Amino acid sequence: MPIHPLLTALLVMDALVLILLTGAAASAFQVVLHWDSGNTGKRQLRLQSRQEVWSLATSLTIWVYLAAGFLLIWTLATVLPGLVPGAMCGTGVLQACTPDGLRMLAFRFLAIVGLMCWQRLETLNRSDPLAALTATNARVLLMLLPVVVLAAFATVRALTGFDTGQPVDCCTALYDRIAAAPGADQPASRVSLLIPALSGVTTLLLVLMAIYRTKPPGNLTRPTALLVLSVIWLISAAGTLVRHLAPYHYEVLYHFCPWCLFLPEHNGIGFPLLLFWGLVAVEAPAQWALSRARAAMPEPSRAWDLMNGSRRRLLAGLLGFVLLAVGPALWWRWQFGLWIGG
């Protein structure tokens, strides 16, 4: 493992998150066993006080975890390539971390989505004088703890297991595979299912959110449809960006590398793109969770207010990603009169 201050800071932040979440999980376990909102006994009052403290601590922990996630992406994209021979971006670093690098990113993504959904539910719960969602949120937190543990374990293995003395191919291997692939001489702008899929799903999401604005959902049908469409949008958006739109950011044909978007020579455009994409990934399941919890609340209007805020953030993520991703392609077309592939 290369000794670097950023790697040390990342591991320390992960350790802090684990310590705080373990304490919160211990409190959540007691809530699951003994919570009784109608009881005014000493144990219930002590449990309420303890739960409130750990709820605030967990909310702070989530922000630390988000900061650690940003630090991880920045380190993988801009710092570690200088320590791995042959690496030009995060692609080469992940090659050196294989297979733990991809597991680290997958587990951390699931943990962030889950924790942000918990935070939305906890915000709703704190607005209720009876705290009707306390037991439910405690169960959710207990289910999320193993995911955070697996993410931390994969992070430690990935960051301590790669060998800086072993050269990697990075994007060079990508160019070799593209050159040897059948049809490599075809234009990069050829039509595929990704572009119409992204356009169609984006339109459906905008229509569904417009309906949301005027009429609250009476059941889980619309939130479920929103969640399913958002998952399809996330997949098609990532695929379209890498396969069709990234070359316009690089101004290089057949450069299908997502990690180079984070480099300073490309203005770090990958960071805002990831932020907008992540907003959709977080707010779509949060919409579903809030809609499900709305039925259990004595004052559903507060849940509806939170759902409106979540919907606005989802819309901002959707439009922000599309504008940033598609903008360079449209500029290229306007400037040169043709697409980058001819």
CA distances from 127 to 32, 120, 133, 294, 322 (A): 20, 11, 10, 12, 34
Tell me, rounded to whole angstroms, the distance of Cα 188 from its chain centroid.
28
Q: What is the pLDDT of residue 342?
A: 54
318 lies in the same domain as 199 = yes
Q: Are 272 and 320 in contact (CB under 8 A)?
A: yes
10 lies in the same domain as 152 = yes
154 lies in the same domain as 14 = yes
pLDDT in tens, 206-227: 887 777 666 666 666 778 888 9
139 lies in the same domain as 193 = no
Question: Is 171 within a domain?
Answer: no
Question: Is 170 within a domain?
Answer: no
pTM: 0.87
CA dihedral 118, 119, 124, 125 (to 10 degrees): 70
Q: Are 113 and 285 in contact (CB under 8 A)?
A: yes
212 lies in the same domain as 272 = yes
14 lies in the same domain as 157 = yes
Question: Is 92 within a domain?
Answer: yes
- DSSP code, position 295: T
Q: Are 81 and 89 in contact (CB under 8 A)?
A: yes
100 lies in the same domain as 190 = no
Length of the chain: 342
pLDDT in tens, 231-257: 999 999 998 898 888 888 887 777 788
309 lies in the same domain as 227 = yes
Q: Which has the higher per-residue pLDDT, 9 or 185?
A: 9
19 lies in the same domain as 129 = yes
136 lies in the same domain as 64 = yes
> Residue 63 is which amino acid?
W
Tokens of 44: 């219930």
Range of the domain at 52: 5-161
pLDDT in tens, 88-125: 888 888 888 877 888 999 999 999 999 999 999 999 98
